[in-house]
Amino acid sequence: MDFVILSLTMMAIGIYGLLTKRDLLKVFMSVELITTGATLNFVMLTSSLGKGLGEAFLILAFSTDTVISGVVLALLVIVCKKYGTSDINEILKTEQKEETL
């Protein structure tokens, strides 16, 4: 039962960070906390059923999460190079200025 509390705490911290932070990297870390908490919850629930299902799901979840993290980090680097900032509000202002031109 402790893993449920841990996963819900991780998800709550991630949701709080997602709602309050304006830096792209901090938003990405918040999303990662949410996905890690959800993955932990699913893996522990399936491993309690036995039969190796939890371990298979763990390998699948962490491998897909790693690939997605790599792609998102590459996109963050591209966005930061293009706009010169990682602040979401500044990026949106720059985009709105470009649309009006």
pLDDT one-digit tens code per residue, 1-42: 788 899 999 999 999 999 999 899 999 999 999 999 988 888
The domain segmentation of the chain, as residue ranges, is: 2-72
Residue 49 has pLDDT above 80, yes or no: no
At 96, the pLDDT band (50, 70, 90 cuts) reads: confident
At 77, the pLDDT band (50, 70, 90 cuts) reads: very high
At 67, the pLDDT band (50, 70, 90 cuts) reads: very high
Distance CA 39, CA 12 (A): 14
Q: Compute the mean pLDDT over every residue in the chain, rounded to the nearest whole number.
A: 88
Asked if 46 and 57 touch (Cβ cutoff 8 Å), the reply is yes
pLDDT at res. 18: 92
**What 3-state DSSP class applies to 27?**
helix
Query: Got the DSSP string for 39-61?
Result: HHHHHHHHHTT-TTHHHHHHHHH
Confidence (pTM): 0.81
In degrees and rounded to multiples of 5, residue 24 shows phi and psi of -60, -40
pLDDT at res. 46: 79
